[in-house]
Amino acid sequence: MKKVAILQSNYIPWKGYFDIIAAVDEFILYDDMQYTRRDWRNRNLIKTKQGLQWITVPVKVKGKYHQTIRETEIDGMDWAEKHWKSIFLNYQRSLHFEEIADIFKPYYHQQYSHLSVLNRKLIEAVCDYLGITTKITNSWDYQLLKGKTDRLADLCFQAGGTEYISGPAAKKYIEEKCFADRKIKLSWFDYTGYIEYPQLWGDFIHGVTIFDLLFNCGKKASHYMRYVSS
């Protein structure tokens, strides 16, 4: 049995994203999909004293209506210093700030031309810290068919997958027959049931960047996740 998941890359995603990576044997970054504005591809949420705050990587979109995530270029370099300043100001009081900052601050002193590269670097760094050893590949490592579900099913088949783990939002469009025709089991990932962890700034909120969990809990972060080993 080989479990496969296929998702678009996000900027420092929330904990559930890393749980789905940890739950499979191969995780395919699906950045051949069209880039969508005002989405999770280039931004995420942090908690602040004033409430939730978006931190957004600026990208070049003018006239690029059909560009893929893979093709999307980062616009300028000033964003990195601003992001790290926001992270520092709002998490410096967290219990594990120094440990986590030592790992991730260097990524904000590097230059990246494309969003996919930045996202993958940070995703891999988080996986390394959490001890997630899942193989991560890119969709362009494989041949791509036409058709939304056919493409996903065929990617899974090419990767040798016998079970495809999908996020629940895809129930709206996935054609189960495409997987059944290839004798691939289709399973739905369950994001419910997360327990709360010690968190700064008011009422608890689950849907924020994984950085929030790491800064507050360090190596105990896995205790508050579903598939990451303790």
Q: pLDDT tens digits, residue range 102-147?
A: 999 999 999 999 999 999 999 999 999 999 999 999 999 999 998 8
pLDDT band for position 39 (cuts 50, 70, 90): very high
pLDDT at 230 over 60: no
Percent of the chain with pLDDT over 70: 99
Q: Which residues pair with 177 in a beta bridge?
A: none
pLDDT at 76 over 80: yes
Task: Determine the pLDDT at residue 227.
Answer: 83
Task: Determine the pLDDT at residue 229.
Answer: 64
pTM of the model: 0.96
**What CA–CA distance (Å, rounded) separates 5 from 73?**
25
**What CA–CA distance (Å, rounded) separates 27 from 138?**
8
Task: Determine the pLDDT at residue 228.
Answer: 73
**What CA–CA distance (Å, rounded) separates 123 from 9?**
8
Task: Determine the pLDDT at residue 224.
Answer: 97
Average pLDDT for the chain: 96
* Nearest residue to 89 (alpha-carbon basis) of 43, 55, 44, 123: 55
- Secondary-structure percent of the chain, ordered helix, strand, coil, rounded to 5: 40, 15, 45
When pLDDT is averaged across residues 85-100 and rounded to a whole number, the result is 98
Give 157-210 pLDDT, tens digit per residue: 999 999 999 999 999 999 999 999 999 999 999 999 999 999 999 999 999 999
Position 218: which residue type?
A: G
Give 42-66 pLDDT, tens digit per residue: 999 999 999 999 999 999 999 998 9
* Nearest residue to 160 (alpha-carbon basis) of 184, 178, 176: 184
Q: Which residues contact 63 (CB under 8 A, 6 or more apart)?
A: none
